[in-house]
Amino acid sequence: MAAEMKEFIKENGSLVIGQYTIEQVYAGMKGMVGMVTETSKLDPEEGIRFRGYSIPELRVKLPKAPGGSEPLPEGIFYLMLIGELPTEEDVVMVSNAWARRSNVPKHVFDMLDELPKNTHPMTQFSAAILALQTESVFAAAYRKGMNKKDYWDSMYEDVMNLIARLPRVAAYIYRRAYKNSVHIEPDPKLDWGANFAHMLGYDDYDMKRLMRLYLTIHADHEGGNVSAHATHLVGSALSDAYLSFASGMNGLAGPLHGLANQEVVRWIMDLRDHYKGAMPTKAQIKEYVIQTMNEGKVVPGYGHAVLRKTDPRFTAQMEFALKYMPDDENCKIVHMLYEVVPEYLSTIQKIKNPWPNVDAHSGALLIHYGMVEYDFYTVLFGVSRALGVLASLLWDRALGNPLERPGSVTSEWMKGQAEKAHA
Ligand code: CMX
């Protein structure tokens, strides 16, 4: 594929594919095509497609655990990396490989134990990923001296090892912060998602089923979102998978990105407190949304930089809730919000997308199965996001992608451009 791409660029490299405006440069480069990401593509109206497959299609087509109803996350990783739907045997192979590679060195746990217990779980997660960097096969091979053609090989080792280790690290952070440091050993017979639920302390079937869905739908959202872009950008300096992925996680930890999943639950709890714990009416919800906006805050879980319709990841979770927990109060509030918030936000002209995103629903599902510690939720998102951004990083190395280095200008320069255009 590297040779094919080189040939394609040689033949078509000078074709112009777009133009952009001064406003786009100031507004976070939204809508500007600036990179190639093979694993998934986001359509503003339809939502995400992983190698061409939508979420509803993948919930049917990807292999499931025996007797299970939700896809195994191993399958979406295989699809994103290889570009083809996996067979049952393929996902078992990935599952076994991750189980074999999942050992976490002791110094990572020792380092975590030294941090204050109230350190935010995402800060602990990022620090643990950096502590794991001692294990980088790529960094060791580069130091010894490695031919460019071999980058892909050692990056493959790092990507597989890192994904294999993340559930253990994340579960350690959770049990240390919220379960008196009573840790649970992995069960190598379980698939990756079920083993994660097991190490977190949730052995019932329902939570394992949710975890498989959760880890599948959060895996990737094309290349321009903050976590994917940060991982790709840092990786372009030939930083190894550990260094690159930690950067992505620092971006995911921002409230406008992955941290929104904890903010949604915090906001719903505040809303419930505001109305003294009673189920709020639609009119009360609207009043609370207006109050949030008047305080100069965002309504978490709503809006998106690219999407212009309801996020299909929200819809998948809503379907899950209606099937498995139709009477859950928090889910009912999430569904009432869906009836109220878009109608109100669409009256505010500057808001480009009034519809819910993935984070609007995930917390309510987790609370239903007993995971109430919402500060931890973004770590779950991060474990899943590893699948997409690390599959992409592997492709970056396989294709020999270069250092990323966009130009930047001063406002003085911009003003000069405008003067020239108006002259
Ligand atoms: N509540 C209130 N105001 C909102 C809003 C919301 N949910 N969504 C957008 N706006 C505001 C923006 O803050 C911006 O206001 P200013 O011009 O005063 O700065 C204006 O509307 C225009 O924003 P936009 O072009 O519609 O949206 P952006 O592409 O700039 O931002 C996003 C997208 C997601 C950051 C924004 O919609 C938001 O802050 N949403 C709430 C946080 C959230 O749910 N984030 C999670 C996204 C999914 C994920 O990455 O996990």
Q: Which letter, b or e, does each residue of 335-359 get, where b requires 16 or more Cβ atoms within 10 Å of its Cβ?
A: ebbbebbbebbeeeeebebbbbbbb
Structural contact between residues 76 and 58, judged by C-beta atoms closer than 8 angstroms: yes
Does ligand 1 have an atom closer than 6 angstroms to the CB of 253?
no
> How far is the C-alpha of 238 from the C-alpha of 180, rounded, in Å?
39
Does ligand 1 have an atom closer than 6 angstroms to the CB of 305?
yes
Query: CATH 1.10.580.10: does it fit domain 48-256+379-399?
Result: yes
Structural contact between residues 407 and 152, judged by C-beta atoms closer than 8 angstroms: no
Res 371: pLDDT: 97
In the residue annotation, 107 being an active-site residue is answered as no
CATH number, domain 260-368, options 1.10.1660.10, 3.40.50.2020, 1.10.230.10, 1.10.1740.10: 1.10.230.10
Res 27: pLDDT: 95
Does ligand 1 have an atom closer than 6 angstroms to the CB of 359?
yes
Instruction: Taking residues 236-252, report their average pLDDT.
Output: 98
Res 288: pLDDT: 96
| Domain range summary for the chain, segments of one domain joined by + | 48-256+379-399, 260-368
- Residue from 297, 304, 348 to probe ligand 1 pocket by mutation (most atoms less than 8 Å from CB): 304
Identical fold for domains 48-256+379-399 and 260-368, yes or no, is no
Does ligand 1 have an atom closer than 6 angstroms to the CB of 299?
yes
Q: Counting atoms of ligand 1 from 1, which one is nearest the CA of 293?
A: 2
Supply the residue whose CA is at minimum distance from atom 35 of ligand 1. 256
Active site residue: 191, 240, 311, 359, which one? 359
Per-residue pLDDT reduced to its tens digit, 78-89: 999 999 999 999
Joined together, the tokens standing for residue 119 give 């350190």
Per-residue pLDDT reduced to its tens digit, 352-377: 999 999 999 999 999 999 999 999 99
Cβ within 8 Å of residue 258, ≥6 positions away:
227, 252, 359, 378, 381, 382, 385
pLDDT of 277 strictly over 90: no
pLDDT of 1 strictly over 90: no
The amino acid that residue 94 corresponds to is V
